[in-house]
């Protein structure tokens, strides 16, 4: 067999040519024509030999040509005539200086594609969309996820309206050997050369836009990633989000909704995994793109700057976090105004970082400003309002004003349980901090109840090795120490140390702190 490489469409694919007898046998089989037991070229119809020659004895071209003849009842001689007309069409698509070295492949596809357009225009459009997915694994539910994209084409809504409609449409593509049903139930595959040809042919389709197809596919990827994430299949989710982000960079602008969603989904995923280093890398890439392509005061840039501040705070980089929050606040006030929710969010975040730096006066000013703003814009029981109330409670606690803090705790906890539910992370955070208050008031029994409630909630909603869960375990150890329960204290510190060491982003200072406590027992 002779091996050549198809490179005209972009990537290089190795293709093996068949021997004459094998090429003729495959052509006859795929065309549903009689195949003699012994093939002698001198006894074979000359049109068969001529077509095998014109197809350059390439198996993929022969399979597609044979499927066309089988499905349309076209004879070998008629197909040769189609082939000549297709050649003229192919040359009219190309620029004068460009010649296709592997035109036999392109012509074969073009003949079949034009026939599919006559039979089922939706099928012809569907194959161009399917080329945007992983050619090794395509299934109905994945394609259907593209319906969450904005402004879906009418043909797309028709095809995905029902699984039976989708199967009927894709059956046309299977009959012409452009798509294959894989061994996995309900899944389909596409030859990589066919996939690349589909990416090429869309340039000649005036009623189809590549960007629209990219948008549908990328929305499907992001939705599938979200589903995996919700099912705690974090490794699968990461692969899907990475694929979506890579395709976004190739096909869309950095400020496109799908690009922003892909970056944000990856950031959330890495944060949930406590993998803050990977999250920081993703943010840095996004921020560089936004500042370069858009401008520093664009809403996408400001949102990324604000989230970067959150990430730095989680890493304990308080100075860097403050700089990010200040930058986000200045941009939001300039672009959106002082009463906009995004501006208030930035004020609230700045208050949090001031508290972390023990700048208590500045902290109280920020919190009072955000509470007033959120109440006016969202109402007293909105989660943003309750979040600021909760933060003010922490401030009073830090100042030693425990009576004020307890009243605000009660208000925040009641609001969260009413608006959200007992196992929501915001509710659990309030419960967790409520136990700090009881601890400091010497109400150790009440504090233990709150600790246990928070720990059970974190393990249920997050996971055993999440930082919030581990922090609750450590704090429970501190409480047991104050209660003189040395056995329980030792158990908590051991669990905390083991968890901190296994976390994706090791918290060395917390590990050392828990280890020191353990040694003192």
Condensed to tens digits (0 to 9), the pLDDT of residues 334-354 reads 999 999 999 999 999 999 999
pLDDT given at position 506? 54
Judge whether residue 184 has pLDDT over 80. Answer: no
User: How far apart, in Å, are the Cα atoms of 137 and each of 179, 187, 202?
Assistant: 11, 6, 21
Average pLDDT of the residues in 443-467: 87
Judge whether residue 356 has pLDDT over 60. Answer: yes
Q: How confident is the model at residue 419 (pLDDT cuts 50, 70, 90)?
A: confident
Judge whether residue 15 has pLDDT over 90. Answer: no
The answer to whether the beta carbons of residues 75 and 69 sit under 8 Å apart is: yes
pLDDT given at position 215? 82
Query: What's the rounded Cα separation, in Å, for the pair 468 and 196?
Result: 47
Range 35-56 burial, b when 16+ CB lie within 10 A, else e: eeeebeeeebeeebbebbebbb
Q: How confident is the model at residue 121 (pLDDT cuts 50, 70, 90)?
A: very high
Average pLDDT of the residues in 32-54: 78
pLDDT given at position 21? 84
Residue 8: Cβ within 10 Å count: 18
pLDDT given at position 302? 92
Q: How confident is the model at residue 12 (pLDDT cuts 50, 70, 90)?
A: very low
Average pLDDT of the residues in 172-191: 84
DSSP 187: E
pLDDT given at position 517? 63
Through-space distance between the first and last CA atoms of the chain, rounded to whole angstroms: 76
Tell me the per-residue pLDDT of 230-250, one tens digit each, with 9 for 90 and over. Answer: 887 888 888 888 887 777 666
Q: How confident is the model at residue 438 (pLDDT cuts 50, 70, 90)?
A: confident
pLDDT given at position 384? 87
- Least confident span in 114-118, 454-458, 463-467: 463-467
CATH class held by domain 120-256: mainly alpha
The correct CATH number of 425-438+450-521 out of 1.10.287.540, 3.40.50.300, 1.25.40.10, 2.60.40.420 is 1.25.40.10
Burial of 323 from C-beta contacts in 10 A (0-12 / 13-18 / 19+): middle
Average pLDDT of the residues in 275-282: 85
Average pLDDT of the residues in 267-281: 82
Average pLDDT of the residues in 426-438: 82
Tell me the per-residue pLDDT of 363-403, one tens digit each, with 9 for 90 and over. Answer: 999 999 999 999 999 998 888 898 888 889 888 888 888 88
Q: How confident is the model at residue 108 (pLDDT cuts 50, 70, 90)?
A: confident
Contacts of residue 506, Cβ cutoff 8 Å, sequence gap at least 6:
500
pLDDT given at position 51? 84
- Least confident span in 418-422, 498-502, 517-521: 517-521
Tell me the per-residue pLDDT of 472-501, one tens digit each, with 9 for 90 and over. Answer: 888 888 888 889 898 988 888 888 888 888
Contacts of residue 312, Cβ cutoff 8 Å, sequence gap at least 6:
318, 320, 321, 324
pLDDT given at position 6? 38
Q: How confident is the model at residue 120 (pLDDT cuts 50, 70, 90)?
A: very high
pLDDT given at position 25? 87
Q: How confident is the model at residue 270 (pLDDT cuts 50, 70, 90)?
A: confident
Judge whether residue 102 has pLDDT over 60. Answer: no
Q: If you average pLDDT over every residue of the chain, what do you get?
A: 81
Average pLDDT of the residues in 357-363: 92
C-beta pairs of 363-370 under 8 Å, 24+ apart in sequence: 363/395, 364/392, 364/395, 367/391, 367/392, 367/395, 368/392, 369/344, 370/344
pLDDT given at position 46? 86
pLDDT given at position 91? 41
> What pTM did the predictor assign?
0.54
Judge whether residue 323 has pLDDT over 90. Answer: yes
pLDDT given at position 2? 40
pLDDT given at position 332? 95
Average pLDDT of the residues in 320-345: 95
pLDDT given at position 104? 58
Query: What's the rounded Cα separation, in Å, for the pair 195 and 137?
Result: 13
pLDDT given at position 8? 41
Highest mean pLDDT among 30-34, 117-121, 516-520: 117-121
Using a pLDDT cut of 70, give the percent of the chain over it. Answer: 84
The closest of 57, 79, 52, 84 to 68, measured between CA atoms, is: 79
Q: How confident is the model at residue 295 (pLDDT cuts 50, 70, 90)?
A: confident
Give the start-to-end residue ranges of the domains of the chain. Answer: 1-119, 120-256, 425-438+450-521
The SS3 of residue 45 is coil
Query: What's the rounded Cα separation, in Å, for the pair 471 and 499?
Result: 10
Using a pLDDT cut of 90, give the percent of the chain over it. Answer: 20
Judge whether residue 103 has pLDDT over 60. Answer: no
pLDDT given at position 11? 44
């Amino acid at each position: 067999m002779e091996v050549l490489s198809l490179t005209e469409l972009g990537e290089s694919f190795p293709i093996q040519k068949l021997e004459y007898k094998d090429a003729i046998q495959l052509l006859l089989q795929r065309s549903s024509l009689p195949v003699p037991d012994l093939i002698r070229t001198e006894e074979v119809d000359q049109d068969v030999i001529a077509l095998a020659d014109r197809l350059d004895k390439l198996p993929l071209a022969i399979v597609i040509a044979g499927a066309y003849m089988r499905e349309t009842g076209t004879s070998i001689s008629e197909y040769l005539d189609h082939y000549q007309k297709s050649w003229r069409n192919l040359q009219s698509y190309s620029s004068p200086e460009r010649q296709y070295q592997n035109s036999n492949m392109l012509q074969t596809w073009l003949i079949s594609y034009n026939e599919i357009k006559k039979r089922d225009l939706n099928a012809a459009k569907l194959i161009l969309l399917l080329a945007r997915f992983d050619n090794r694994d395509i299934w109905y539910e994945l394609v259907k996820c593209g319906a969450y994209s904005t402004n879906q084409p009418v043909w797309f809504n028709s095809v995905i309206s029902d699984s039976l409609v989708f199967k009927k449409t894709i059956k046309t593509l299977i009959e012409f050997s452009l798509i294959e049903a894989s061994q996995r139930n309900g899944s389909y595959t596409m030859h990589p050369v066919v996939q690349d040809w589909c990416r090429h042919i869309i340039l000649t389709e005036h009623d189809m836009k590549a960007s629209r197809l990219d948008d549908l596919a990328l929305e499907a990827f992001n939705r599938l990633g979200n589903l995996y994430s919700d099912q705690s299949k974090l490794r699968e989710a990461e692969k899907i989000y990475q694929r979506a982000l890579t395709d976004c960079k190739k096909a869309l602008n950095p400020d496109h909704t799908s690009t922003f969603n892909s970056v944000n989904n990856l950031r959330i995923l890495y944060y949930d995994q406590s993998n803050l280093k990977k999250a920081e890398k993703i943010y840095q890439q996004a921020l560089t793109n936004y500042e370069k392509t858009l401008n520093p005061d664009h809403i996408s840039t400001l949102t990324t700057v604000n989230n970067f501040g959150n990430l730095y705070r989680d890493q304990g980089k308080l100075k860097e976090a403050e700089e990010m929050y200040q930058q986000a606040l200045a941009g939001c006030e300039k672009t959106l105004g002082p009463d906009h929710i995004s501006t208030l969010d930035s004020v609230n975040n700045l208050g949090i970082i001031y508290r972390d730096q023990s700048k208590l006066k500045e902290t109280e000013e920020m919190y009072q400003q955000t509470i007033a703003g959120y109440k006016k814009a969202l109402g007293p029981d909105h989660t943003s309002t309750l979040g600021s109330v909760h933060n003010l409670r922490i401030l009073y606690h830090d100042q030693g004003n425990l009576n004020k803090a307890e009243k605000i705790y009660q208000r925040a906890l009641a609001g969260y349980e009413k608006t959200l539910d007992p196992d929501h992370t915001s509710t659990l955070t309030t419960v967790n901090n409520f136990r700090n208050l009881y601890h400091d008031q010497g109400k150790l029994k009440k504090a233990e109840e709150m600790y246990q409630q928070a720990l059970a909630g974190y393990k249920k909603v997050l996971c055993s090795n999440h930082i919030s869960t581990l922090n609750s375990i450590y704090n429970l150890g501190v409480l047991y120490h104050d209660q003189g329960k040395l056995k329980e204290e030792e158990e908590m510190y051991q669990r905390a140390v083991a968890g901190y060491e296994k976390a994706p982003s090791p918290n060395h200072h917390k590990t050392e702190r828990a280890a020191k406590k353990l040694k003192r027992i």
